[in-house]
Structure formats: C-alpha cells, structure tokens
Amino acid sequence: MIRGFFVFLILLILAGCESLNWYRQSINGHFSLLNQAEPITEVVAHPATDKALKEKLQRVLAMRDFASEELQLPDNGSYRSYVSVQRSAVLWSLVATPKLSLRLKQWCYPFTGCVTYRGYFSEADARQKASQLTAAGYDVAVLPVPAYSSLGWFDDPLPSTTIQWPDSAIAGLIFHELAHQQLYIADDTAFNESFATAVADIGVERWLARQADSREMEIWQEEKKIAKVFHQLLAEYRQYLSELYQSDLSTAQKTLQKADLLQALKAEYESLSKAQAGLRIYQNWFDQPLNNARLAIVASYQDWVPAFRELYAQHAADMQEFYRAAEVLGDLPRPARSEQLQRLLQRTPDHVQTMATVQAR
C-alpha cells in the first residue's frame, strides 16, 4: 500500500489543475474503499453476517484460490476482502469519441500510460465532464463500473455491487481483474481488455468444469452464445459506420446517415430479440442513447478475444505458456503486435472482424 501511495503523490505533483482535481477524487475514492474493506474470512466468521452472504463469500474465496492455483494468476490479497458500497456502482467510466469517428479519446498518466476511459467515484463528476466533452463536439458515454483493478498496486476488495451476481459472473470478474495484474501493456486498451476478457472466459469454463455442475455450465454456454450474437451485431454496424466516416460525403450527409445507421441498429436488435428471447438481457444497453462512444468501448473488450483464445489453444491450454506468449506479443511495437493478433484472428473463421476495428487502431 505504501508503494501505491507514493505513486499517487508523484501523480499529483505532475498533474495540471484539472487533472489535480481528478487525481484527488481518485485517491479519496480508492482509499475510502480500502479503509472500509474487511477480510472475507472475518466477514464470514462474524455472527451477524447473513447466512446467504456467508455462503456466497465462501464461494468467492474458493474462486480466488482457484484463480491462483489453477489459472496461475497473481497470488495476493486482491479480492480476498469485501467492501459494502452504498451506491449502484463503484465508479463511473467516461468514454468519448469524435462525432464522426470510432477512435476513442485517450487520457494519459505517468507510469500507466494512456487508456481510453476515465474513472470517477462520483457519477455527478463524470456527467459534468461528459457535458463539457459533448459541448466540445464529442460523442460521450458514462458507464457504471461494478469493480476495477489497481493493477496490483493495492489489494483490491470485492465490492457489494457484484454480490448478487451469478457465481459464474463473479468468477469472471475476479479472473478478468487479476488478468490485468498478470499482464498490462501501456497505451493499448484493446489489448489489455481483450486479454483479460479471454482469461475470464477460459477461467470460468475451467471453474465450472471443476464444479461438475452441468446445469450451470449449460446456462453459461447459452449466455455466451447470446453474447456472441450481440457482439457480432455491433461489429457489423461499426463496420458500416467506419466506412461511412471514411467516405467522401459531406459532414452533414455523414451526420444524417450516422443517425439512420444507429436507428437501424436499434431496429435490428428489436427484431432479433423477438426471435431470441435471451437477447433481451441487452435491452438496457439499447435503451441508452446510441453513439460512437458506446459502440467503440465495447469493441475494446472484445475485438482481440478470439485471437487470445487461439493463442491459448496453440499452447495446449497451458496457462503459463499462454501468459508468456501474450507477454511476447505485448513487448512488440504496436503495429507488429496488431499484425500478429490479426494473424491469430485469421485462424478463427467464425470471428467477425470488422474494418472498423482495424482502422480504429
């Protein structure tokens, strides 16, 4: 914890006025969580703890042990403590793109490099900054974040915002966030998030297989099929939009056609969800205003996932070998890294790879 504190002090010294306010709220918000967190073993042992919560947290500890023992993810104090959060999300993530582009705006920080989102512990603060970016001509989105990783600088707690989730979803979250501690490449959000998503998918598959619960495995596999339909639909429309933005049409024409495409996307989702009831879990996503920012951030978490799954298969499902191979990719210059990932994608024929993905990088 001391190491992380001094890093934050350095960030404050280097920050400008606006950034100073952001770093201040980040420090206050993060340390507030850490100060309220309790070891899960103590929460479970406390006689006042609800029985259902005890049982859930005992399973969380089993997932956490599985992450280090089976998936070879960092063995530390992260997600071995629990914090009750009296709000709907731990923080809110702000993402933005130009009005006629799928390229996400980046925020850059010392040590961690540039990322395509900015987190706020106050929803009001996030929306205030979003309003400023909107006025400056950006498409913006403010997204609730149920948990996050400090990349190993601190022992991150499991927040209560996730405790009602299905076990498979909590396991996936823990595996995803620990994957960021396992490997993190500065200035490449798509690489980092896709890698972590792939590790989470692999981990949940192995976790459910260990539980020998065929029904839970069946439910999870069905959820993945539904998610694939959702992501392929978004990828299709990102391609349409990317082609539009690179066309020779005027700004006014592009703006009109963009609106038509976003309306068509929503209409196609409505049609698909009538045929596949499972797609209705994405209704809330489509109920929010559709724009470039919302489409682009989803791509960051998904576009390279099939490539990482192929890399995992090439190394005979050996997690350590897989991590080493991913680290080798991460050490490459950005263009060479993308080229290698693209080659891995070509070995996955069922993957929908869009022009928008390639052109946005």
pLDDT one-digit tens code per residue, 325-338: 999 999 999 999 99
> pLDDT under 70 in the chain at which residues?
1-18, 111, 349-361
* 276 CB-near residues (< 8 Å, 6+ apart): 226, 229
* Per-residue tokens: 120: 């706020």
Query: What is the structure's pLDDT at 358?
Result: 42
Is residue 105 in a domain?
A: no
pLDDT one-digit tens code per residue, 267-314: 999 999 999 999 999 999 999 999 999 999 999 999 899 999 999 999
Is residue 252 in a domain?
A: yes
- Name the one residue in this structure whose structure tokens are 């929503």: 266
Contact 116, 77 (CB under 8 A): no
158 phi, psi to nearest 5 deg: -85, 120
Domain range enclosing 245: 215-359
Is residue 351 in a domain?
A: yes
Is residue 6 in a domain?
A: no
Query: What is the structure's pLDDT at 356?
Result: 40
- Name the one residue in this structure whose structure tokens are 């929460």: 43
State if pTM tops 0.85: yes
Nearest partner of 222 among 278, 277, 271, 148, judged by Cα: 278
Contact 67, 173 (CB under 8 A): no
Nearest partner of 78 among 91, 93, 67, 89, judged by Cα: 67
The Cα–Cα gap between 159 and 83 comes to 5
- SS3 for the chain, per residue? CHHHHHHHHHHHHHCCHHHHHHHHHHHHHHHHHHHHCEEHHHHHHCCCCCHHHHHHHHHHHHHHHHHHHCCCCCCCCCCCEEECCCCCCCEEEEEEEECCCCCCCCEEECCCEEECCEEECCHHHHHHHHHHHHHCCEEEEEEEECCCCCCCCCCCCEEHHHCCCCHHHHHHHHHHHHHHHHCCCCCCHHHHHHHHHHHHHHHHHHHHHHHCCHHHHHHHHHHHHHHHHHHHHHHHHHHHHHHHHCCCCCHHHHHHHHHHHHHHHHHHHHHHHHHCHHHHHHHHHHHCCCCHHHHHHHHHHHCCHHHHHHHHHHCCCCHHHHHHHHHHHHHCCHHHHHHHHHHHHCCCCCCCCCHHHHHCC
Is residue 115 in a domain?
A: no
Query: What is the structure's pLDDT at 152?
Result: 87
Is residue 285 in a domain?
A: yes
Contact 288, 294 (CB under 8 A): yes
Torsion region of 98: left, alpha or beta (phi above 0 gives left; psi -120 to 50 gives alpha): beta
Query: What is the structure's pLDDT at 213?
Result: 81
Is residue 88 in a domain?
A: no
Nearest partner of 267 among 241, 254, 286, judged by Cα: 286
Number of structural domains, the chain? 1
Is residue 197 in a domain?
A: no
Point out which residues pair with 139 in neighbouring strands.
Answer: 97
> Which amino acid is located at 145 in the chain?
V
Query: What's the distance, Cα to Cα, between the start and end of the chain in Å?
Result: 35
